[in-house]
Amino acid sequence: MCYTINEIKEKTVPIAREYGVKRMSLFGSYARGNANKESDVDIYIEKGKLKSLIRYYCFVSELEKALDCHVDVVTTGIEDKEFLDTIQSEGVLLYEEQGYGFRE
């Protein structure tokens, strides 16, 4: 199945809110606009309240159910700088907790 970014946003934002995710971005083929029906969905999150491994796996499972496809979720703490740079350069913001991105 192939989705638009807005469809992905509509399906995933309620789940991010439910699990207390601070920020969630889309990257990979969907963010670049070259996804096909075989593409998985790549998501980068800043976990916020999503601390336990069990809750993390439940979160990923909920995303996969909502999107009916495999979802790769990358979290903060990734040490591969080149990969993180790629995520940050092509990432499309899907959700940010209210007030989280505010900087004085």
**The pLDDT value given to residue 101:** 66
Reported as type and span, the H/E element at residue 26 is strand 23-27
Task: Give me the mean pLDDT over the 26-51 stretch.
Answer: 93
Domains and CATH numbers, the chain: 5-96 (3.30.460.10)
- Cα 49 from Cα 55, distance rounded (Å): 9
Element containing residue 88 per DSSP (H, E): helix 81-90
The reported pLDDT for the residue numbered 98 is 84
First-last CA distance in the chain? 41
Mean pLDDT of 49-62: 93
Taking 60 as the threshold, does the pLDDT of residue 59 lie above it?
yes
Higher-confidence residue of 74 and 99: namely 74
Q: Which residues pair with 27 in a beta bridge?
A: 42
Question: Does 83 have pLDDT greater than 90?
Answer: no
pLDDT at 104 over 70: no
pTM of the full predicted structure? 0.88
Overall average pLDDT of the 66-94 stretch? 90
